[in-house]
Structure 1
Amino acid sequence: MNRWIPRLGLTLVTISLVALLAWALWPTAVPVTTATVAAGRFTESVREEGRTRLRDTWHVSAPIAGFLQRVTLEVGDPVEADETLFRLEPSPVPALDARTRQQAEDSLQAAQARLRTAEANLDTVRADRRFAEAEFRRYQQLHSRNLVSTAELEQRRNQRDRLVALENAASSGVEVARFEAESARALLDVASGQRIAPGDIPELEVRAPVSGIVLSRYRCCEGSVAAGEPILELGRPSDLEIQVDLLSMDAVRLRPGMPVRLTGWGGDALDGQVRRVEPAGFTRISALGVDEQRVPVIVDFEADFTPQAHGLGSGFRIEAEFVLWEADGILQVPTSALFRHQGEWHVFAIDQGRAWRRAVVIGRRQGLVTQVLSGLEPGELIVNHPGERVDDGVRVARQD
């Protein structure tokens, strides 16, 4: 009996070692995260950042070159149609240098001398005309008494008429000389570069073409402006719209009238709709340095939305979600649970603690969620983010 005791102890030790070795070599369960297959509302959409803008703007510029009076309107001020926006007056005459000024003074003195000469000539001709008129009246009286001939009377009349014409010519010469003197004096009066006193010159009033608000003010202070130089930009807040530059592969899926959800502007989500997809695209370089073909898409706010009441203006950032398709009761799984195997889409379904590879047919995709057409049932548990250790039939342990 005593000799069986060492053998029994050795047997027990051997069995324990074998059990310990089997336990050490037994495959452990792979820890995984899981997701439940569920049916719910599914929305396929395209998201992109956009900017608000005004459909129409009016750039008001100076119609002629001149001197701009101070613009009192500021950005954001409302204006009514036909309201005066700013005024223009003729540009000041540039200042003269010393040589030109001396020439101008000499020209003024010469004009004044010609004026005095013309006035003296007018006085002489006027005196001769008065004498000729008196002579003609005397000859008329003598002719009535037959003391002088008719020829002598006609001669006096002719002399009187010639002197009347000379007087008119001399009077016109005085006017011309006076205008020349005034012109030479005006040149010296305004040639210092100073503006003419207000009220002495006409002003051009530029009026608002439409009712709206001032969007930009390019000039505020008085000064000389060139013809066509922009002064103000006007717009109507009610014409606010959104421009979103989408990838061309997304833009071709849009149609006018499609619903749009507007978020990320600082308030509650708003509703809008696609008004126009531009027919021409452009190239834009992405943040990664890749050339992208973008297409402008114009979105309108809902009809009863007032942008000003919500603080929205032109050039504001906004996020637009274009709804391409949506429905209820759609079976869906996380996109991260799908993987390709032998050219088909599969997931790992969990059954009795083991992961089993299962083929599925997928439909639409929307970011982190994908529609499942067949292969799964609602409520089933699947592996999310399957790693390299997960294989068909492997024991798994949930880490959720």
Structure 2
Amino acid sequence: MNKSNNGAAKKRRWLIGGLAVVALAAILWASYRPRPLDVETASVAEGRFEQVIEEDGQLRLQQRYLVTAPTAAQLQRPAIKVGDAVKAGDVVAVLAPNAPGMIDARTRSVLQQRVGSADAAVAAARANVQRAQAALAQATLEAERSAQLAKDNFIAPSARDQSRLAREAAAQALKAAQAEQAAAGHAASEARAALGRAEPSGAAQGSTPGLWSLKSPVDGRVLKLHKDSSEPVQAGAPLLEIGDTGAMEAVIDVLSGDAPRIAVGAAVQLSTGRNQPPLAGTVARVDPVAFTKTSALGIEEQRVNVTVALKAPPEELQKLGDGFRVDARITISANDGALLVPSAALVRQGEGWQVFVVEGGKARARTVTFSDRNADSAWVKDGLKAGETVILYPGSGMRDGQPVKSRKS
């Protein structure tokens, strides 16, 4: 009886010990077994693949008109401000004659003496005219008398001819005297005008005779006032700029290496700011000349200007302005029905590329080839199928066969 009890107790101890060993093994396996890695995933899908160039630029007016001073003058204080709307023919600037320079007392005295001298010359010329008139009258009487005497044969014909020539000479002398009188009169007027610059005039006392109004050449808005106060200006000095903000274009500077890839007519999307709808446009011109520009990193780059024609209506462009910054997305090529995988899933493998595909809860390395890629996605040529799930940002620690727990991006 005792032997049977001891055997049963021994069996129970062995059973309990075995169960304890199994439980400990289960605990150790659960503690040290590989845990699924939480990863971000995305699906491989068919869609539109676009190769684009993304750069920034600015808006500018298609036509800008610069109003300049046609002559040296005194600009009147402008009545318009930047942003004011103007119509073609509206007065946008007014010019007045320049004020004469100030003259000192000595110069004024000299000018007064010149006026007196000129008046005296006028009087002398007037006297010469009167003397010439008297001489002509006498020569005329002598010529008439000689003609009558010659007709009655009291004098020779030569005497008659001599008196006639004397009358003609007297007539020419009168004309010369009259011309001298006119010249003396003009000289006197010139002397008085020179003296007049030294005396206060109506224009200097506040009146503005001879104003010259400059008019707007087109309908538009005032973009810039080069002169915002009354001041003297020289001929050709810029006064203000006018343009139509409803007719604008965008200019985007791209790297010279990217310029040959851009075709005229290519689609462009422009972003003008946060929460603003994009503007659509097309490439109108690619400049044939490059220029040097220093990047934000201090690197000199060769850039080329690309002009974009906007498709937005004028009333929408009126909300924007000349020089506004835009972010441009220029489409180089586009293909529909392409098999796309996010660029974030690609991992370098030697000279090629691979992705990690989620299969049965594990990451499986898959070599892929693609036709083209951009910053967002790659156009897969071989190695993947539509609907498969790939791991994004797998990192250097990802291994083939590693358990993963997927979450969609």
CA distance in 1, matches of 2:337, 2:367: 21
Deviation of the 1:33 alpha carbon: 2.0
What is aligned with 1:284?
293
Deviation of the 1:187 alpha carbon: 0.6
Task: Please say if residues 94 and 192 of structure 1, whose CA atoms lie closer than 8 Å, have aligned partners that are also in contact.
Answer: no
State how 1:351-366 maps to structure 2 within 5 Å: 351-366=359-374
Alignment equivalent of 2:69, drawn from 53, 62, 67? 62
For the structure 1 residues 378 and 137, does the alpha-carbon distance in structure 2 shift closer, same or farther, using more than 3 Å as the test? Answer: closer
Alignment equivalent of 2:271, drawn from 263, 266, 269? 263
The alignment partner of 2:378 has SS state of strand
State how 1:109-188 maps to structure 2 within 5 Å: 109-127=116-134, 132=138, 136=142, 139=145, 143=149, 149=155, 163-188=170-195
State how 1:319-398 maps to structure 2 within 5 Å: 319-398=327-406
Deviation of the 1:224 alpha carbon: 3.6
Deviation of the 1:185 alpha carbon: 0.8
Deviation of the 1:160 alpha carbon: 5.6
* 1:233-285 alpha-carbon deviations (Å, 9 max, x no partner): 44455753221112233322211122223333675344322122222222222
The alignment partner of 1:252 has SS state of helix
**Is 2:50 aligned against 1:43?**
yes
CA distance in 2, matches of 1:147, 1:328: 126
CA distance in 1, matches of 2:51, 2:148: 122
For the structure 1 residues 149 and 198, does the alpha-carbon distance in structure 2 shift closer, same or farther, using more than 3 Å as the test? Answer: farther
* 1:102-159 alpha-carbon deviations (Å, 9 max, x no partner): 22122122222222333344445545555x2696499569949979756887777666
Task: Please say if residues 79 and 212 of structure 1, whose CA atoms lie closer than 8 Å, have aligned partners that are also in contact.
Answer: yes
CA distance in 2, matches of 1:134, 1:250: 98
CA distance in 1, matches of 2:200, 2:62: 44
Deviation of the 1:26 alpha carbon: 2.4
Aligned residue identity for 1:229: A
* 1:157-176 alpha-carbon deviations (Å, 9 max, x no partner): 66665555444433333322
CA distance in 2, matches of 1:117, 1:127: 15
CA distance in 1, matches of 2:147, 2:254: 108
What is aligned with 1:101?
108
Aligned length: 394
The alignment partner of 2:258 has SS state of helix
Task: Please say if residues 93 and 192 of structure 1, whose CA atoms lie closer than 8 Å, have aligned partners that are also in contact.
Answer: no
Q: TM-score, normalised by structure 2?
A: 0.78
For the structure 1 residues 7 and 116, does the alpha-carbon distance in structure 2 shift closer, same or farther, using more than 3 Å as the test? Answer: same
CA distance in 1, matches of 2:346, 2:148: 137
Task: Please say if residues 48 and 319 of structure 1, whose CA atoms lie closer than 8 Å, have aligned partners that are also in contact.
Answer: yes
CA distance in 1, matches of 2:144, 2:329: 110
Gap runs ≥5 in structure 2 = none
For the structure 1 residues 162 and 70, does the alpha-carbon distance in structure 2 shift closer, same or farther, using more than 3 Å as the test? Answer: farther
What is aligned with 2:196?
189
Deviation of the 1:356 alpha carbon: 1.4
Aligned residue identity for 1:394: Q
Instruction: Give the CA RMSD over aligned residues.
Output: 3.9
What is aligned with 2:37?
30
For the structure 1 residues 340 and 134, does the alpha-carbon distance in structure 2 shift closer, same or farther, using more than 3 Å as the test? Answer: closer
What is aligned with 1:294?
303
The alignment partner of 2:257 has SS state of helix
What is aligned with 2:238?
230
CA distance in 1, matches of 2:172, 2:46: 113
CA distance in 1, matches of 2:262, 2:379: 21
Q: TM-score, normalised by structure 1?
A: 0.80
CA distance in 1, matches of 2:103, 2:75: 22
Task: Please say if residues 247 and 314 of structure 2, whose CA atoms lie closer than 8 Å, have aligned partners that are also in contact.
Answer: no
For the structure 1 residues 39 and 182, does the alpha-carbon distance in structure 2 shift closer, same or farther, using more than 3 Å as the test? Answer: same
The alignment partner of 1:21 has SS state of helix
* 1:320-358 alpha-carbon deviations (Å, 9 max, x no partner): 322233344332222111101233211111222221111
Alignment equivalent of 2:28, drawn from 21, 29, 32? 21
Aligned residue identity for 1:259: A
Task: Please say if residues 282 and 309 of structure 2, whose CA atoms lie closer than 8 Å, have aligned partners that are also in contact.
Answer: yes
The alignment partner of 2:289 has SS state of coil
* 1:209-249 alpha-carbon deviations (Å, 9 max, x no partner): 66666544434655543233233444455753221112233
Q: What percent of counterpart residues are identical?
A: 32
Alignment equivalent of 1:272, drawn from 273, 281, 298? 281
Aligned residue identity for 2:348: R
For the structure 1 residues 309 and 94, does the alpha-carbon distance in structure 2 shift closer, same or farther, using more than 3 Å as the test? Answer: same
Aligned residue identity for 2:68: S
Aligned residue identity for 1:285: T
CA distance in 2, matches of 1:10, 1:71: 105
